[in-house]
């Protein structure tokens, strides 16, 4: 595995891959790698000749009161994990390398942002799209892999890749979970013992909603209310949202005619957790989106 820290070297190396006709798979991360990230890497290894993983905590996607400075970082552990999972190139640029002083432009996302996490994080997805636009060009990726735990992010990435005619195929991989159902997240380390026990109920609330749909319930308002009540009864967290939307357009729905998402976010003292399931009209879970 080769570690690269500059844009110039990364671009030069990927030029050589392209000249040799090798397919490049790209897994963008903010580090503190866990099984969710390594599942993306393993999936990419199955499909591509070369796998590049980036580790970059992107300041543009953090708001003024968010946890950029506290975001967990462990470069030595991340490097070991990446090598263990046979990453070919580990790209770890600095903030100054990615955003020089003379930067004058950024990507602005116009749709799919006024709901779910975007509603309480203005500008967040502009920051995500901006860094990904740069990373896609730098890595020259043929395929890019994302976990569907961040389903709104995936929907937005799919959309802007299409809008800008970028030559990268975006693939969404199922959320990786702990044995008790909690979605893997770098922020889980911030939960105290009681919060960690309660956090398992996020996924249970989604399974409850799925069962209502499988049983033939078409009342989206009632399902939201049931999920909200379940979370209130089983956790001490503050609910940010419980929503049911079309997917990937992320528009309000009243009936289950097409693919849709049930998504939740809950604030604990230690961390804000998100989770979701993406379902077809019959209530069957969608595992991979490509």
Element (H, E) at 119: helix 116-120
Cα–Cα distance between 175 and 146 in angstroms, integer? Answer: 9
Residue 237 assigned ligand-binding role: no
Cis amide prior to 69 (ω within 30 degrees): no
* Residue whose pair of structure tokens reads 């804000």 in the numeric block: 272
Annotated binding residue 181: no
279 marked as part of a ligand binding site: no
Q: Is 216 annotated as a binding residue?
A: no
35 labeled binding residue: yes
Per the annotation, does 12 bind a ligand? no
Distance of CA 276 to the CA centre of its chain: 11
Query: Is 37 an active-site residue?
Result: yes
3-class DSSP state of 268: coil
Is 54 flagged in the annotation as binding?
no
Residue 20 is assigned to a ligand binding site = no
DSSP state, 72? -
CA distance 5 to 80: 16
**Which residue among the candidates 37, 85, 124, 201 is catalytic per the annotation?**
37
Structure tokens at 273: 């957790």
Whether residue 249 is annotated as binding a ligand: the answer is: no
Residues annotated within a binding site: 30-37, 61, 147-150, 153, 176, 184-187
* Active centre residues (catalytic): 37
Residues annotated within a binding site for ATP: 30-37, 147-150, 176, 184-187
């Amino acid at each position: 595995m080769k570690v690269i820290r500059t844009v110039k070297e990364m671009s030069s190396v990927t030029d050589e891959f392209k000249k040799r006709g090798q397919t490049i798979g790209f897994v963008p991360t903010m580090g503190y790698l866990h099984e969710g990230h390594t599942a993306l890497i393993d999936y990419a290894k199955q499909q591509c000749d070369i796998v590049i993983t980036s580790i970059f905590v992107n300041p543009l996607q953090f708001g003024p009161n968010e946890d950029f400075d506290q975001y967990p970082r462990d470069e030595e552990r991340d490097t070991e994990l990446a090598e263990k999972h046979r990453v070919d190139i580990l790209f770890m640029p600095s903030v100054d390398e990615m955003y020089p002083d003379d930067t004058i432009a950024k990507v602005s996302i116009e749709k799919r942002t006024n709901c779910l996490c975007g509603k309480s994080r203005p500008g967040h997805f502009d920051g995500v799209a901006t860094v990904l636009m740069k990373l896609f060009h730098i890595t020259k990726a043929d395929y890019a892999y994302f976990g569907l735990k961040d389903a709104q992010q995936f929907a937005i990435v799919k959309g802007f890749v299409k809008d800008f005619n970028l030559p990268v195929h975006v693939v969404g991989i199922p959320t990786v979970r702990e044995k008790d159902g909690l979605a893997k997240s770098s922020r889980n380390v911030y939960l105290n013992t009681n919060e960690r026990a309660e956090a398992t109920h996020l996924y249970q609330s989604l399974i409850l909603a799925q069962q209502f749909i499988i049983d033939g319930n078409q009342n989206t308002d009632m399902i939201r209310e049931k999920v909200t009540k379940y979370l209130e009864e089983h956790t001490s967290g503050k609910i940010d949202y419980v929503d049911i939307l079309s997917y990937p357009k992320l528009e309000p729905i009243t009936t289950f005619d097409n693919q849709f998402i049930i998504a939740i976010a809950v604030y604990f003292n230690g961390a804000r957790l998100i989770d979701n399931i993406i379902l077809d009209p019959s209530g069957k879970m969608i595992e991979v989106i490509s």
